[in-house]
Structure 1
Amino acid sequence: MRRLTTALMLGTAMIVTPAVTAQAAPETFAPLAEQISDSVVNITTSTTVAARQDGPMMPQIPEGSPFEDFFRDFMDRNQGPSQPRRSQALGSGFVISEDGYIVTNNHVIEGADEINIEFFNGEELPAEIIGTDPKTDIALLKVTSEAPLQPVPFGDSNDAAVGDWVMAMGNPLGQGFSVSAGIVSARNRALSGTYDDYIQTDAAINRGNSGGPLFNMDGEVVGVNTAILSPNGGSIGIGFAMSSNVVTKVVDQLREFGETRRGWLGVRIQDVTDDIAESIGLEQASGALITDVPEGPAMEAGIEAGDVIVSFNEQPVEDTRGLVRRVGDAPVGETVPVTVYRDGEQIDLDVTLGRREEAEAVPASAEVDAPEEAQEEDILGITVAPLTDEMREQLGLESGQDGLAVTDVAQDSEAYEKGVRAGDVIAEAGQEQVTGAADLQDRIEAAQDAGRRSILLLIRREGDPRFLALPLE
């Protein structure tokens, strides 16, 4: 341990800053490596790759050529229809129970016909898939062993602080059991998944480490090594491990149900920006702004598009990411209190959560040029026209869908900077529906009279709604 203390004398007074304590680097990681080695496994998967149905291509030989029969016989004899072949992949994992449950990444075993588990002592066992969760890239396997296996415990990933020592163990590049060490470089990283909560580390992680554990110095798993950021495919000290607090919830559900069962609120949401908060009179830019409420739990509870969810299950909502994770962690069928901000007031509602469903495919759309008979007007750099049946068909909208079609946007306008594009549909302005240019102009004037510096627009693009605050100055 090394303690650093700084003091400053001012006259007869002495001001002492709080002591800063730094933890020295371990002299060796050997005891920890020995402690956990029997719990970490190498994973080899085999997959059958289907044969090509069309077979090899016959060289183009002029009909009647003396070489025609020769080439046909050669192709039939030496390069007949291609045969199915076996493809192998490598990864890592770790034991979480004496009776043989093993955690790894979904992408390690996805599509595998056979899964083989190799232990540190050289023993090999076949494994079966209990369940997978592509959203967090976690899979749960099971092996049958005559002797109890040596499990490792999960730790609380929230206790893993930036700068803490961590150790990774796995099967990098097929080299077998290897250990690397580093520190927690960052917390709460998101890559591309809905439920991402990654620990970033500079411990060396390479291909083959996927699914392996990231340990704290107490021998507890605080993350599952999943991805690296690299321009060349090798470790450059930017690796990501899914946090244990996410993994444990997934594993518990896979173990009990063979699948995940996440809560479902049934809304489309976006973050509240400063200008959006100002446009609706919200004091702080926090919460989750609802852009659409399809049929489901939220609609049944009375939640509306334009509401801002500021509290879920009596916990404040900072942003959309936090809300999605909190809803997903809530039990299916549970009734939870939800507080929304609407028209300057907070409204308390009770929502009975459903089970999260996969988003439906969004129909393709195309940019639209307004028919000549549709009267266009330019407002704040946006050229708009009332929706016609032809426009609705081109934009993939439902029959009777109201709004204003955006036919052009001036590239030097605030609207263009905010992302408004031709082909968008303005469905609401100032949280009220608009069907014509006059409606939009009225909403703008009302916002200006109220002293607003921006107006909230509900924009639909390819069926996907989102709010944006358009400056009025």
Structure 2
Amino acid sequence: MAARGLARSVALDRDRRGMASLFWAGALGLALVIGQAGQGHARAAPDSFAGLAEQVSPAVVNITTSTTVASPLSGPDAPQLPPGSPFEEFFRDFLNPDGPGGPRRAPQHSNALGSGFIISEDGYIVTNNHVIENADEIEIEMFSGRRLDAELVGRDEQTDIALLKVKSDEPLPFVPFGDSDQMRVGDWVMAMGNPLGQGFSVSAGIVSARNRALSGTYDDFLQTDAAINRGNSGGPLFNMDGQVIGVNTAILSPNGGSIGIGFSMASNVVSKVTTQLREFGETRRGWLGVRIQDVTPDVAEAMSLSAAQGALVTEVPDGPAKDAGMQSGDVITSFDGQPVKDTRELVRRVADTDVGRAVRVVVQRGGRSETLLITLGRREEAEATATPAAAQKPAEPQSQEMLGMTLGVLDADAAQAMGLAPDATGLVVREIDEASNAYEKGLRAGDVIAEAGQQKVASLADLQARVDEAKQAGRKSLLLLIRREGEPRFVALAVE
């Protein structure tokens, strides 16, 4: 009996082990299926880029420009000789095209190389503005070797994009724009162009980063490790479907050659610019009419905001926002139904909105939310309006030390000299302790404190009262509105 019981127990254990093996095998198989399904949208590394290169190369062009420059022997660079010099007559004859020395001031030509790509069968071509800037003649060479003269349709210095046009009796091969917002870090890309004037060349890599900003207001670059060198400027960056998702514009390099850090202006920016250049010959960006800055954590704390996000309005000059009731100190949290993360996002979104369109803008003001209906103006027209330059500050009479600064009262003469309205009020920073929180936050001698705690300050007593109020309210910092050469900026200073 004991032997039969032992045999039965061993058999049951064997069955359990078999069932467990089947269970874990099934679970492993299910995990593999789930893992494969989760990776279904990811694209594996291609065996070759040859097919893609063959597909898009007919629409990629090399660009050669010719620019006329003055002779170095004429103009301001010409030799300057005092009257009566023994060489005066010689140089006068030598530099005089009608003199015995013959024509010596003939213009010289400078050539430059770049890349571009055709976006329509009727011959519109996209490249970088810096490739064709100041060019007298522009010629494109297609992959087939065909050469055509190109004319400038329009250009945009803000995004470094230019639109060209060539005439052709037959439809030209072209490539479409893709959605750059769909590109992810790690996605495969292929660059094509004319690096170092060597002719058509292909390089491949991945998207290294997104939403890079270099120096422009509307910058939205894809960073890639695909090799980009001089001459690649204006060339396309393709996704694996043969769509242009970027225009190769710049590289980061200590030696001028590719080190794997290249920048391509995102296609979703470029396509909007080229559409406007094609239709109007110029850009037409929306304009809100405010000066703004990011909401930092210390500014959010000083304003009792729940989060450090949105765009803080520092000034509202005459324009659409002022007409709609926007005020300095408002925090823009929503534009046209979409939340605003920071100033860069707001600037781009406003610029992409049609001129003359009425949009709803939500602001935080004094702890309450308010909605304004603002009809956008045109940024290019607003930027064309000249603003007076600010002069240097004169010495201030009365002074007192406060918050690590020596402050004086702003009078009418000082305000006028600093480019402010004669009736402007505030406190002038005469000296500043370099070890103070004020210096750390960027304040310098000559700055004007116009507001404290979102209230105007006209005297040292006003500022002291705002400091005391902040301390009594348990705040760690006080929000100041600073003006430097007429430009406003909010700064949160520690009051503890």
State the TM-score, normalized to the length of structure 2. Answer: 0.87
Deviation, structure 1 residue 399: 1.4
**Is residue 54 of structure 2 the alignment partner of residue 34 of structure 1?**
yes
- Give the distance between the partners of 1:100 and 1:407, measured in 2 at CA: 61
Q: Secondary structure at the match of 2:75?
A: coil
Deviation, structure 1 residue 228: 0.7
- Give the distance between the partners of 2:389 and 2:81, measured in 1 at CA: 43
**Is residue 373 of structure 2 the alignment partner of residue 347 of structure 1?**
no
**Is residue 389 of structure 2 the alignment partner of residue 389 of structure 1?**
no
Equivalent positions of 1:131-280 (< 5 A) are 131-280=154-303
The 1:25–1:192 alpha-carbon spacing in structure 2 relative to 1, beyond 3 Å, is same
Deviation, structure 1 residue 74: 7.2
Q: Give the residue type in structure 2 aligned to 1:29.
A: F
Q: How many residues align?
A: 458
The 1:413–1:126 alpha-carbon spacing in structure 2 relative to 1, beyond 3 Å, is same
Q: Higher helix proportion, which one?
A: 2
Equivalent positions of 1:433-472 (< 5 A) are 433-472=456-495
- Give the distance between the partners of 1:227 and 1:218, measured in 2 at CA: 24
The 1:93–1:74 alpha-carbon spacing in structure 2 relative to 1, beyond 3 Å, is closer
- Give the distance between the partners of 2:314 and 2:70, measured in 1 at CA: 44
Unaligned runs of 5+ in 1: 1-8
Partner of 1:358: 383
Cα deviations across residues 337-395 of structure 1 (Å, max 9, x unaligned)? 1000010111111111111121745614325431xxx3211111111111123322432
Aligned residues of 1:367 and 1:422 also touching (Cα < 8 A): no
- Give the distance between the partners of 1:58 and 1:389, measured in 2 at CA: 48
- Give the distance between the partners of 1:33 and 1:350, measured in 2 at CA: 49
Q: Secondary structure at the match of 1:442?
A: helix
Aligned residues of 1:362 and 1:463 also touching (Cα < 8 A): no
Q: Give the residue type in structure 1 aligned to 2:392.
A: A
- Give the distance between the partners of 1:324 and 1:233, measured in 2 at CA: 32
The 1:446–1:170 alpha-carbon spacing in structure 2 relative to 1, beyond 3 Å, is same
- Give the distance between the partners of 2:390 and 2:311, measured in 1 at CA: 27
Aligned residues of 2:61 and 2:193 also touching (Cα < 8 A): yes
The 1:128–1:451 alpha-carbon spacing in structure 2 relative to 1, beyond 3 Å, is same
- Give the distance between the partners of 1:450 and 1:179, measured in 2 at CA: 63
Identity of aligned residues (%): 63
Partner of 2:14: none
Unaligned runs of 5+ in 2: 1-22
- Give the distance between the partners of 2:412 and 2:106, measured in 1 at CA: 53
Deviation, structure 1 residue 426: 0.4
Partner of 1:53: 75
- Give the distance between the partners of 2:92 and 2:129, measured in 1 at CA: 45
Aligned residues of 1:56 and 1:80 also touching (Cα < 8 A): no
- Give the distance between the partners of 2:322 and 2:85, measured in 1 at CA: 70
Larger Rg belongs to: 2
Aligned residues of 2:236 and 2:248 also touching (Cα < 8 A): yes
Q: Give the residue type in structure 2 aligned to 1:333.
A: G
- Give the distance between the partners of 2:393 and 2:230, measured in 1 at CA: 42
Deviation, structure 1 residue 71: 8.0
- Give the distance between the partners of 1:69 and 1:367, measured in 2 at CA: 51
State the TM-score, normalized to the length of structure 1. Answer: 0.91
Question: Please, what is the CA RMSD of the aligned residues?
Answer: 2.5
- Give the distance between the partners of 1:198 and 1:429, measured in 2 at CA: 38
Q: Secondary structure at the match of 2:110?
A: strand
Deviation, structure 1 residue 449: 1.5
- Give the distance between the partners of 1:443 and 1:140, measured in 2 at CA: 54
Aligned residues of 2:310 and 2:333 also touching (Cα < 8 A): yes
Cα deviations across residues 134-185 of structure 1 (Å, max 9, x unaligned)? 1111111111101100110111001111111110111111111111111101
